[in-house]
Structure 1
Amino acid sequence: MAEGAFAPGHLGELTQHVPFEMVDAVLTETGKTQVRVRDLPSRVVVYLLLAGCLFNDRGYGQVWHRMVAGLHGLAVAAPTAAALTQARVRLGAAPLKALFDLVRGPAATSTRGWVCWRGLLVTAIDGTTLSVPDTATNLAVFTKKASGNTGSYPHLRLLAVVCCGTRTVIDAVFGPSGIGETSYAPALLTRALRAGMIVLADRGFATNDIITAITSTGADLLIRCKTNRKLPTLHRLADGSYLSHWMGTPVRVIEAEITIATRDGRRTGSYRLVTTLLDPHTYPAFDLVTLYHQRWEIETAYLELKSTILGGHILRARTPEGITQEVYALLTTYQILRQAITDATDTRPGTDPDRASFTITLNAARDQLVQAAGIIADTVTDLVGHIGRLVLANLLPKRRTRLSPRAVKRATSRYPAKGLNINRTTYKATITINITALTPPPPP
């Protein structure tokens, strides 16, 4: 561990993913290195914010007690709650943003499973909202939802591009929820994408500006669009898809019916997908429909972020600047947890990262922080570590085809939601995909 006043600044074993040198570099870059070393140096405050994300249900005073619990025999500071608040305000959000920029991106891993598909890195874009404290300063920036169980709190909108195979965050943007996802998306996509990537998105992102932003980066797209969107049939292909154009951009359209059958009945829905992958031999229509299902990995990433890390709680900061600082700390903490998972599963060939339990990873990281263990790497490189060994010893079974209702389960409340009678049964399911090959229109 570090010496003197810097000793409390650590994340246990996760410190190896955000080492002292990295934190010092972002502090120097943003001009936030302390002038004089006191009880709360800037580096320690950065780790305090990250540790606060591991223990989101605890105040920063209790988080501090966990950071120093394993520092036996060392004289450590005992700052007051006011001192911790002043230190966070003094640090600001810039160092946390710079730190997130260093750790974000697809984790280094082999190209198996859905990490890469036919040579393309599979990514997805989607948005969510986070609740913030209902203070006057927050209300000046963030707005409240009109309805819902958390409607009494202001919200911010978070939009991210996630690597589907590892659920790591490639890039993210956030701000007032009054601004829609499609307004945040073009700038985010321009930053996050490059040639050799394919981005999956739902119908809300099928707009001219977003498709232009994606194609300008050299990346490919696979987006579901509305059935009433007029896309002319230029040439019908052998796999049932057809070539068309979207405001001058050459695209390929795939229309399919997907049937889900369970012992409770059958349900069929129509999908209309648009892609810039025009070759039906290299990218068959059936395989693209199957690939599109991986878009749900970003929904699972948001579940891990909001339900597992945050536990359904609102954010803590009572000012917009503090909210910005906290969200970047949250994204950074989530990212290094996913990196720890990928490092572990990559040592066991044939193990997909989605079989790792995020809950076990989070709890193992908490234990290592309290024990102040594994802070500095040994002379022998160990990509697995204590966290990874627990992950590999408790792998989830291979994913089965199951169907669960898309319903909010508020585990933090002892009381059922009013007026709702939801069937929460999970069923084994069989999925059938049928490519709809429509008769081409007569020639003009």
Structure 2
Amino acid sequence: MKYFQKDEQANITITTVTLRVQILKDKFSQSLGLPFKELLPSSVIEQALSELKIRYYRRLFDPIVTLWAFLSQVLDADKSCHNAVSKVIAYLAEIGVEIPSSDTSAYCQARSRLPEKFLETLFSQVGKSLEQKVEIEHLWCGRNVLVIDGSTVSMPDTPDNQSYYPQPSTQASGCGFPIAKIGVIFSLATGAAIALCIDVLNTHDIKLARNLYQFLNPLDILLGDRAFCAYADLVSIKNRNCDALFRKHQARKTTMRKGKIIGSSDKLVTWHKPKKCPHGLSKDEFNTLPSTITVREIYYYIVVPGFRTERVSLITTLLDTTAYSTLDIVGLYGKRWDVELDLRHLKTTLGMDILHCKTPSMVRKEIYVYLLAYNLLRGLMWSAGTSYTTPPLRLSLQGTRHHLNNFIPELLAATSTKRLQIYRTLLKVIAHKAVPDRPARNEPRVRKRRPKAYPLMTKPRHELRKQLQTA
């Protein structure tokens, strides 16, 4: 492709900055952008910039180049800004144009200029686009199921981060890291993240969930653990023409004598409005709650040799026993564990567990870019699975990331005709080996590898240095 062109009317050569920006956009679209062209084409990015009325100067790191560099940064094993800038320099050096400085300040400033709403919009748009690819055979009883859960992420110990996302109160000052609480809704069909909420560490999961209900669509089913099973939340979900399936909260006692039996280990029960306004609800919200709500309670037993038999009670608003049998609902709750795997993919596989940005606003942007990259990988897995008749959720996200990173140099070096052939090969390789299906897998939460026998930090580092100097 020829990058040096002339304007036929004004006979003015394209400036060096414009030339280099176009080179980088082409490079990213031919490599990292090619597998994601259906979910995140340049037109979607430009539309988001236009809708948010984002104006920017003509720079090397314009919003589109910065976004692609940010995405490649979180997908790479080396997540440093220096590595991201080095890639940009290498792309320009191949063409033979003037290369920028290897200093990372320009790129870091460009990242800070990206509006948080812009990244949130792209993340949401990609998740919705992937949801639109779901066919009826991928749904549960003809219904779309979303799974909700909460988790935490840590970040560098800077004064700004500490003031906005304080460390746990049990840790001494200067001995811990700032931690943010996140609530995420995932699609059970695609594994993609649909919605996100970020708050401080001591925020209860149910408060995060109430900020996420706005992202539910009519007839969705929300699946979650016992933390979300509250009277007001069941009412709120039903008011949105949706349904819920939660494990029964341990504070609510179970009695076998009440309720209408509708099947084996299955009954309809009436819950009454709490006498006092629960924490987190306003008086107006509490007053609008109905006096009663009918829910369906299903219970089953977990038998482990050598341990006391445990009874699990499920609460759902799916009252139709013909459309949703007892076994169907129990089987659906068994898939709630998928959200734990999705969060593990985000935090462990992609490395979102420990963030690198030093200000609260950049921390939130980094989280959105991680979720955007995660959804793009899910979209690539969906394309590979549907193209080669392999269940997309059975494919390895880590393997997909490895194959993508290894194929990018080949995509860059290929011609336009050869590039599509390499892309189809990439899909075939991703779908080649599915992860084994291991239902009801149970593993203890223990560590085999022993950490180094260093004591925990109980004083700030500068005090410990003084102790070493005076010792």
TM-score, normalised with respect to structure 1:
0.82
Match of 2:45 in 1: 23
Q: For structure 1, which segment, 9-18 or 325-334, has the greater mean C-alpha deviation from structure 2 after superposition?
A: 9-18
Q: Which has the higher contact order (CA 8 A, sep 6+)?
A: 1
Match of 1:433 in 2: none
8 Å Cα contact 2:296-2:319 kept in structure 1: yes
Pick the aligned partner of 2:85 from 49, 64, 67: 64
Do the aligned partners of residues 172 and 374 (structure 1) sit closer, same or farther apart at CA in structure 2, a change above 3 Å counting? Answer: farther
SS in 2 for 1:340: helix
* Inter-partner Cα distance in structure 2 for 1:220 and 1:311: 31
* Inter-partner Cα distance in structure 1 for 2:161 and 2:357: 9
- Report deviation, 1:74: 4.5
Letter of the 1:54 partner, please give it.
L
Match of 2:465 in 1: none
Pick the aligned partner of 1:88 from 83, 107, 111: 111
Match of 1:255 in 2: 299
8 Å Cα contact 2:134-2:189 kept in structure 1: no
Q: Does 1:392 align with 2:428?
A: no
* Inter-partner Cα distance in structure 2 for 1:116 and 1:172: 22
Letter of the 1:156 partner, please give it.
A
Tell me how many residue pairs correspond in the alignment.
407
Q: Does 1:367 align with 2:406?
A: yes
* Inter-partner Cα distance in structure 2 for 1:82 and 1:380: 34
Match of 1:173 in 2: 197
8 Å Cα contact 1:231-1:244 kept in structure 2: no
Do the aligned partners of residues 94 and 287 (structure 1) sit closer, same or farther apart at CA in structure 2, a change above 3 Å counting? Answer: closer
Q: Does 1:303 align with 2:325?
A: no
8 Å Cα contact 2:267-2:296 kept in structure 1: yes
- Report deviation, 1:415: 3.5
8 Å Cα contact 1:203-1:225 kept in structure 2: yes
Letter of the 2:122 partner, please give it.
L
* Inter-partner Cα distance in structure 2 for 1:383 and 1:111: 31
* Inter-partner Cα distance in structure 2 for 1:383 and 1:160: 34
* Inter-partner Cα distance in structure 2 for 1:417 and 1:211: 48
SS in 2 for 1:138: helix
- Report deviation, 1:13: 3.0
Runs of 5+ unmatched residues, structure 2:
4-18, 274-291, 457-471
Letter of the 1:60 partner, please give it.
C
Match of 2:461 in 1: none
Q: For structure 1, which segment, 231-240 or 289-298, has the greater mean C-alpha deviation from structure 2 after superposition?
A: 231-240
Pick the aligned partner of 1:356 from 390, 395, 400: 395
Pick the aligned partner of 2:355 from 315, 329, 341: 315
SS in 2 for 1:282: coil
Letter of the 1:8 partner, please give it.
L
- Report deviation, 1:360: 1.1
* Inter-partner Cα distance in structure 2 for 1:337 and 1:83: 28
SS in 2 for 1:251: strand
Do the aligned partners of residues 382 and 47 (structure 1) sit closer, same or farther apart at CA in structure 2, a change above 3 Å counting? Answer: same
Do the aligned partners of residues 221 and 400 (structure 1) sit closer, same or farther apart at CA in structure 2, a change above 3 Å counting? Answer: closer
The structure with the greater share of residues assigned to strand is 1
8 Å Cα contact 1:12-1:374 kept in structure 2: no
Letter of the 2:317 partner, please give it.
T
- Report deviation, 1:267: 6.1
Letter of the 1:364 partner, please give it.
H
- Report deviation, 1:309: 0.4
Runs of 5+ unmatched residues, structure 1:
420-444
- Report deviation, 1:368: 3.8
8 Å Cα contact 2:160-2:359 kept in structure 1: yes
* Inter-partner Cα distance in structure 2 for 1:40 and 1:100: 20
Do the aligned partners of residues 376 and 199 (structure 1) sit closer, same or farther apart at CA in structure 2, a change above 3 Å counting? Answer: farther
1:60-105 deviation per Cα after TM superposition (whole angstroms, max 9, x unaligned):
1212323554563252642421111121122232321121121123
Match of 1:422 in 2: none
Q: For structure 1, which segment, 248-257 or 13-22, has the greater mean C-alpha deviation from structure 2 after superposition?
A: 13-22
Give matches, 1:148-297, under 5 Å: 152-189=176-213, 191-230=214-253, 233-246=258-271, 247=273, 248-260=292-304, 268-297=309-338
Letter of the 1:236 partner, please give it.
I
Match of 2:10 in 1: none
Do the aligned partners of residues 133 and 216 (structure 1) sit closer, same or farther apart at CA in structure 2, a change above 3 Å counting? Answer: same
Match of 1:324 in 2: 364
Match of 2:60 in 1: 39
Do the aligned partners of residues 414 and 393 (structure 1) sit closer, same or farther apart at CA in structure 2, a change above 3 Å counting? Answer: farther
Computing the radius of gyration from Cα coordinates, the structure with the larger value is 2
- Report deviation, 1:361: 0.8
8 Å Cα contact 1:92-1:322 kept in structure 2: no
8 Å Cα contact 2:388-2:428 kept in structure 1: no
- Give the alignment's Cα RMSD to 1 decimal: 3.2
Q: Does 1:4 align with 2:48?
A: no
Percent of residue pairs identical = 25
Q: For structure 1, which segment, 152-161 or 282-291, has the greater mean C-alpha deviation from structure 2 after superposition?
A: 282-291
1:16-63 deviation per Cα after TM superposition (whole angstroms, max 9, x unaligned):
13221111222222233423x222222111112212211253311212
Letter of the 2:235 partner, please give it.
T
- Report deviation, 1:159: 0.6
8 Å Cα contact 1:12-1:373 kept in structure 2: no
* Inter-partner Cα distance in structure 2 for 1:243 and 1:348: 44
8 Å Cα contact 1:199-1:220 kept in structure 2: yes
